[in-house]
Chains A and B, each alone.
Chain A
């Protein structure tokens, strides 16, 4: 028995080491960096000063004060959370019926449908965003058609590109499979006898769904929501390319701090807040999932 538990630890050693080196350690380094001064040409200033052979720490709370003394960043965080919530909800509303339909279809068509869900992964993420840029562009077919129709009702032309709508459409498009797959994995395991039993005991279609299928699928809903919410929260590529000036999210600012502004310490502060938010969401999700 002892040998067995030893081999269990041994097997989990490589992934543990991997996570420690490439996740835990960098997070700690970032946390440390958030208390340091920026270097003159980017990067970080030394964290100690050497004066007359005496070594003093050179750390600061300024970066954290900067986060809190204006409301720009807080509002940006709230806006990003808003986008993430919206994208997650839309993915859920669209993904749930899809996952349910796949889970209830016959063996053969089920495999095909699943393949179709993951098909977009076969092409590059950026390529797919560029495709949306073409679709949304002011001279693109979609915009022209929409404006043509709007014109009939005497409404002025609109632009789709560089708008929160464009961003949301693209965020949902990219993350939908992350909602559908865990939901499918959950729904596919449901015992259909339970639905027959519920019907037999007097439950109509809607009550069968809301009282049986939905509560039994909650763990899938939570898993899918986490898988959508967290990447959307930190997303910068889609706002960069499709969001325009209004569509900036916290990920863009973090990237900006590390690249253009060369303020690594403040970038670290923002990414620490992002990490904590993400961890909080996961913990909340797993708490909800544990409840009956």
Chain B
């Protein structure tokens, strides 16, 4: 796939009185990408989307589409469409009229409109709903009509602001799969906003994690999960244990860290250079931690500690064990319930040993 830059956001800022909603945000979005803005509520995702769509103007910075600024163009003249959270279907128009709307605005001939509306309805697999009014549709159907309407005149870019948040969990999962396939089929660039990290990981080619109006990390899902660049990202994306400590020494990509109250552990494959003595945290995903009554044939590069089961959470397919370590620290570990004939491996109070290999964890600086 040839990579071409479609949208460029250059040090864009937006202030509401004293409040900084966006602070010098810069992003590059490539053509054909499924790009996600992920962040907690109030971090400025909607604000950024409204700036791209043209409903709001930045206080500083520039937004370029195909290398040309679009700040001067009003929303109706930007070649991009938005999917609104409540779908915003026109209640006085039939489904077909709704989908025809952008084509009518573009002055396309009636005959062609009809053909393209029918095609769009086929794309979202609702060909028999053309004559119905939006209030006769279910949530998922409304969602698909909104998407059909936004895609029918092939915009360069589709902006989606938490489009699935109004749907129930099952439907949401189904729509996620549909969105991925749709995006792949039509090849239109998506900018997707969500505060649901699971959704972001499942859907996106790349994710920008935002916090308090700033971009914290932009990366592909696997790297965001595996190599978070900060405590915030590690904590926000997936479950994560954070073990505090201090860097003792580094040799190439191998680091020795003195964990508070636990002693030295070995971390390998570190990408960053750490100054000796700097405070840091070891991020450890629960599924990377081995847990057993007694760890046998431990590898040399494994760190292991003894603890007690403090609590457990039976989730059906897996059980989450919360283990108290020597320093009082609580460590979360995950064990798949794959053995037959029993539910949990351990009970509360059992003594257990936990271990992880040197490449399981990842260091982030304070």
Give complex CA distance A196, B91 in Å: 14
Q: Is B61 an interface residue (CB 8 A)?
A: no
A191, A204, A215, A216: the one within 8 Å of B76 (CB): A204
**In the assembled complex, which residues on chain A have CB atoms less than 8 Å from the CB atom of B53?**
200
Known: A212-B90, A292-B92. A196 touches B105 (CB 8 A): no
Are B90 and A198 neighbours in the complex by a CB distance under 8 Å? yes
**In the assembled complex, which residues on chain B have CB atoms less than 8 Å from the CB atom of A193?**
84, 86, 88
Question: Which A159-210 residues have C-beta < 8 A from chain B?
Answer: 191, 193-194, 196-204, 207
What is the distance, in angstroms, from B184's C-beta to the closest C-beta of chain A? 24
Q: Is B133 an interface residue (CB 8 A)?
A: yes
Give complex CA distance A198, B81 in Å: 10
Are B91 and A201 neighbours in the complex by a CB distance under 8 Å? no
**In the assembled complex, which residues on chain B have CB atoms less than 8 Å from the CB atom of A194?**
88, 90-91
A191, A207, A215, A216: the one within 8 Å of B88 (CB): A191
What is the distance, in angstroms, from B70's C-beta to the closest C-beta of chain A? 13
Are B76 and A203 neighbours in the complex by a CB distance under 8 Å? yes
Give complex CA distance A155, B74 in Å: 49
What is the distance, in angstroms, from A182's C-beta to the closest C-beta of chain B? 18
**In the assembled complex, which residues on chain B have CB atoms less than 8 Å from the CB atom of A216?**
91-92
**In the assembled complex, which residues on chain B have CB atoms less than 8 Å from the CB atom of A207?**
105
**In the assembled complex, which residues on chain B have CB atoms less than 8 Å from the CB atom of A199?**
55, 74-76
Q: Looking across the interface, which residue of chain B has its beta carbon closest to that of A216? A: B92
Give complex CA distance A292, B53 in Å: 31
Q: Looking across the interface, which residue of chain A has its beta carbon closest to that of B159? A: A200
Q: Is B150 an interface residue (CB 8 A)?
A: yes
| Residue interface bits B60-102, CB-to-A below 8 A is 1, else 0 | 0000000000000011110001101010101110000000011
Q: Is B285 an interface residue (CB 8 A)?
A: no
Give complex CA distance A193, B77 in Å: 18
Are A201 and B84 neighbours in the complex by a CB distance under 8 Å? no
| Residue interface bits B142-153, CB-to-A below 8 A is 1, else 0 | 000000011001
What is the distance, in angstroms, from A268's C-beta to the closest C-beta of chain B? 43
Q: Looking across the interface, which residue of chain A has its beta carbon closest to that of B78? A: A200
Known: A201-B101, A212-B90. A196 touches B106 (CB 8 A): no
B55, B74, B105: the one within 8 Å of A201 (CB): B105
Give complex CA distance A211, B98 in Å: 11
A196, A202, A204, A292: the one within 8 Å of B84 (CB): A196
What is the distance, in angstroms, from A210's C-beta to the closest C-beta of chain B? 12
Give complex CA distance A281, B153 in Å: 43
**In the assembled complex, which residues on chain A have CB atoms less than 8 Å from the CB atom of B102?**
201-202
What is the distance, in angstroms, from A207's C-beta to the closest C-beta of chain B? 7
Residues of chain B whose beta carbon lies under 8 Å from any beta carbon of chain A: 53, 55, 74-77, 81-82, 84, 86, 88, 90-92, 101-102, 105-106, 133, 149-150, 153
Residues of chain A whose beta carbon lies under 8 Å from any beta carbon of chain B: 191, 193-194, 196-204, 207, 211-212, 215-216, 292
The 9 closest A-B CB pairs, nearest first, are A202-B105, A197-B88, A201-B102, A193-B88, A199-B75, A215-B92, A202-B76, A200-B82, A199-B76
